[in-house]
Amino acid sequence: MARVEGYVEIDTERCKGCGLCINACPTKVLEFDMGTFNSKGYHPARYKGTGCIACGFCYMMCPDVCITVYRSVPATVGK
């Protein structure tokens, strides 16, 4: 079975670094971006780059609605 692939986009300016998305992620592909601060002074969450299964748990738990989850759709032939 093909593994579902996806990725997340995080609005780092909106993020308050609470870590609820990192705690909720079942594949542990989110982390704090310890190298940067946003203008509020928090370390925002960051997607590690691979391994997202587009389950949406981070979106569900994010209290600041700064996550958008994308799912890769295989190209369909003939459409």
Partner 1 sequence: MEKAIFNPPKSLSKREFTYCPGCHHGIVHRLIAEVIDELGIREKTVIIAPVGCSVFAYEFFELDGTVAPHGRALAVATGMKRARPDLVVFTYQGDGDLAAIGTAETIHAANRGEKLTTIFINNAVYGMTGGQMAPTTLIGQKTTTTPYGRNHEKDGYPIHISEILSTMNGVAYLERVTVDTPQNVRSAKKAIKKAFLAQIKGLGFGLVEVLSACPTNWGMNPVEAMTWLREHMAKEFPPKLFVDKVGDG
State the residues that interact with partner 1 by CB under 8 A. Answer: 6-7, 14, 16-20, 23-24, 42, 54-57, 59-65, 67-75
Q: What are phi and psi of 17, to 5 degrees?
A: 60, 35
Minimum gap (Å) between residue 25 Cβ and partner 1? 10
Tell me whether residue 20 or residue 48 sits nearer to partner 1 (CB atom).
20
Minimum gap (Å) between residue 15 Cβ and partner 1? 9
H or E, element range at 40: none
Between CA 67 and CA 60 the distance in angstroms is 9
Dihedral sign of CA atoms 70, 41, 18, 33 in order: positive
Minimum gap (Å) between residue 31 Cβ and partner 1? 14
